[in-house]
Amino acid sequence: MHETTGNIAKRDGALESPWQTAAYTAATSTSTQQTYDCLIVGAGITGLTTGLLLQQAGKNVIIAEAHTLGFGTTGGTSAHINTFADTTFAEAESAFGEDGAQLFADAIRDGFNLIKHNINELGIDCDYAEKTGYLYAETDEQVKLLHEIYQAMLKVGVPAHYQHNVPTPVAFKKALELPGQAQFHPIEYLLVLRDEFIALGGTLLENTPIDNIESNDGLHVASSGERSIAAQNIIYATHMPPGINVFSFRCAPYRSYVLAVKLTDDTYPDAVIYDLQDPYHYVRTHVIDEEPLLLIGGNDHKTGHDDPEKAFDDLEKYARTYYNVASIEYRWSSQYYIPADGFPYVGQIPFMPDGIFTATGFNGNGMMLGSISAKILADQVMGIENRYSKIFSPSRLKPIDGFTELVKENADVAYHFVADRFGIPETDSLKQLAPGTGKVLELNGSKLAVYCGEDGGIQALSPVCTHAGCIVNFNAAEKTWDCPCHGGRFNTDGSVITGPPTKALQTIKYI
């Protein structure tokens, strides 16, 4: 497994992604501003793109990031830039009509073009490369689905055609060629957005978690410990806004897995390739430190539900079935959010004071959707009309039929709200915990989230997620406590890593 030395960008898990090889240096920016036009919470692709757009427009912007730039999913992405999304245009049409599907396709294209524009304008050296994409079907049912996808793509003007020659070792029945896809190195990209943002007068505060906001007379005052920041507008570019809000019930958190492997031969594809299995797989090639790596990803499951180690094992089996794997250089997982009706939520947060915005529910497509959200949010802050504001509005009233995922996800959230409040007898004892593992145990009638450190030391926490009271599960791969309800994630010491909770898991002191 690869080991990087020196100053690396941090990430919300113990496993290292290849993007952390970027030469990360902490940003230094100071400001004497009393009140900002906008405070952006979170420095992933959404936050930094929004910050740059607003600063370019002459606004005074401050970005507060709880950890370091790219710490969230942007540091654990697989960095495909696509002309299509996980919500197919056929699904988009069934939920939002033909116009809705067209707007969705246009938004994806505009997000893609914004990334390309930034790379060209700022001369960003981030391994940007355009590739041909392929999507293939292995069963008759998938052939039918592929055809629906194809027809809906043609309708919204996204180039696609059937193709027999696909650079995949997998036996398939039918495949689409999708010209004009791309890939890049997300952290190299963010580092230059950050530098430009600061050069234009923007302020970035890393290691600054925003834990509260008070609003009065159109002014918002955010606090991070002792520090307070006053701003006219606040944007939660946190992937999921904190606290219990409408998004807690409209977005389902998922984990997704990626391996970056070296091959014994030279069969690295010069393409981005996707199957239609459920959960699905994709492959692409990325050169890191002058060595080609095959990125194989997928095997997604709802956060806190399946065994992450098994997901990695299955992905590795898949990789070894189709490729001559010499070594596994990286393996990592990260989190994304599936929106209830298939479209992201971008704009004013319902039931919050005016001027508090967010962008969430990007599914596995946040490079394009995070970028276009940045444009929508920047326009909203500046009072400029944006053609995507309405369709992506978090306040939209959308009938949920046509998007079956929602029913499944919401049933599951409701189940955990109820089931986690009943004690389930736990027969395991602390002694059975191996070093480096964790488990929710029932001891003397109380549930405890217990982690046994590599040195054998025990860290006991309340397993009750501080967000909505569900019981966390241990993620053995990333060594984190993950909440199955809304995707809150905590370190083994209980501190918040990511997701909607803002408070640490309570430490149990008597152990």
Ligand X SMILES: Cc1cc2nc3c(=O)[nH]c(=O)nc-3n(C[C@H](O)[C@H](O)[C@H](O)COP(=O)(O)OP(=O)(O)OC[C@H]3O[C@@H](n4cnc5c(N)ncnc54)[C@H](O)[C@@H]3O)c2cc1C
Alpha-carbon gap, residue 226 to 209, rounded angstroms: 11
Work out whether 482 is an interface residue with ligand X (CB under 6 A). no
Work out whether 394 is an interface residue with ligand X (CB under 6 A). no
Tokens of 511: 């152990």
Site size toward ligand X (CB under 6 A) is 40
Work out whether 13 is an interface residue with ligand X (CB under 6 A). no
Among 209, 243, 402, 469, binds ligand X (CB under 6 A): 209
For residue 502, the Cα-to-chain-centroid distance in whole angstroms is 18
Which residue, 50 or 448, has its beta carbon nearer to ligand X? 50
Alpha-carbon gap, residue 426 to 447, rounded angstroms: 9
Work out whether 367 is an interface residue with ligand X (CB under 6 A). yes
Which residue, 346 or 476, has its beta carbon nearer to ligand X? 346
Work out whether 438 is an interface residue with ligand X (CB under 6 A). no
Under a CB-based contact definition with an 8 Å cutoff, are residues 43 and 66 in contact? Answer: no
Which residue, 248 or 334, has its beta carbon nearer to ligand X? 334
Which residue, 311 or 391, has its beta carbon nearer to ligand X? 311
**Cβ 28 to ligand X, closest distance in Å?**
18
Which residue, 131 or 174, has its beta carbon nearer to ligand X? 131
Work out whether 188 is an interface residue with ligand X (CB under 6 A). no
Under a CB-based contact definition with an 8 Å cutoff, are residues 240 and 499 in contact? Answer: yes
Under a CB-based contact definition with an 8 Å cutoff, are residues 74 and 366 in contact? Answer: yes
Cβ count near 10 (within 10 Å): 17
**Cβ 336 to ligand X, closest distance in Å?**
4
**Cβ 398 to ligand X, closest distance in Å?**
20
**Cβ 366 to ligand X, closest distance in Å?**
2
Work out whether 452 is an interface residue with ligand X (CB under 6 A). no
Which residue, 120 or 495, has its beta carbon nearer to ligand X? 495
Work out whether 258 is an interface residue with ligand X (CB under 6 A). yes
Q: In what order do the strands lie in the sheet with 446-452?
A: 437-443, 446-452, 458-461
Residues 483-502 that bind ligand X (CB under 6 A): 498
Alpha-carbon gap, residue 334 to 257, rounded angstroms: 7
**Cβ 358 to ligand X, closest distance in Å?**
9
Tokens of 2: 């690869």
**Cβ 412 to ligand X, closest distance in Å?**
19
**Cβ 83 to ligand X, closest distance in Å?**
11
Among 22, 40, 45, 160, binds ligand X (CB under 6 A): 45
For residue 212, what is the enclosing H or E element?
strand 212-216
Residues 6+ apart with CB under 8 A from 217: none
Which residue, 148 or 211, has its beta carbon nearer to ligand X? 211
DSSP states along 104-162: HHHHHHHHHHHHHHHHHHHT--S--EEEEEEEEE-SHHHHHHHHHHHHHHHHHT---EE
Which residue, 144 or 310, has its beta carbon nearer to ligand X? 310
Residues of 286-318 as b/e, b for ≥16 C-beta within 10 angstroms?
A: bebeeeebbbbbbbbbbbbebebeebbebbbeb
- Could you tell me which stretch among 62-70, 129-137, 345-353, 483-491 binds ligand X (CB under 6 A)? 62-70
Residue nearest ligand X, CB atom distance: 366
Among 237, 295, 349, 472, binds ligand X (CB under 6 A): 237
Alpha-carbon gap, residue 182 to 280, rounded angstroms: 19
Which residue, 91 or 300, has its beta carbon nearer to ligand X? 300
Beta bridge partners of 181: 131
Which residue, 242 or 339, has its beta carbon nearer to ligand X? 242
| Nearest CA among 247, 237, 139, 244 for reference residue 197 | 237
Among 72, 355, 361, 484, binds ligand X (CB under 6 A): 72
Burial class of 161 by CB neighbour count within 10 A (0 to 12, 13 to 18, 19+) = exposed
Among 92, 95, 103, 210, binds ligand X (CB under 6 A): 210
Alpha-carbon gap, residue 406 to 201, rounded angstroms: 42
Which residues form the interface with ligand X (CB under 6 A)?
41-47, 64-67, 71-74, 76-80, 209-210, 237-239, 242, 256, 258, 297, 334-336, 362, 364-368, 370, 498
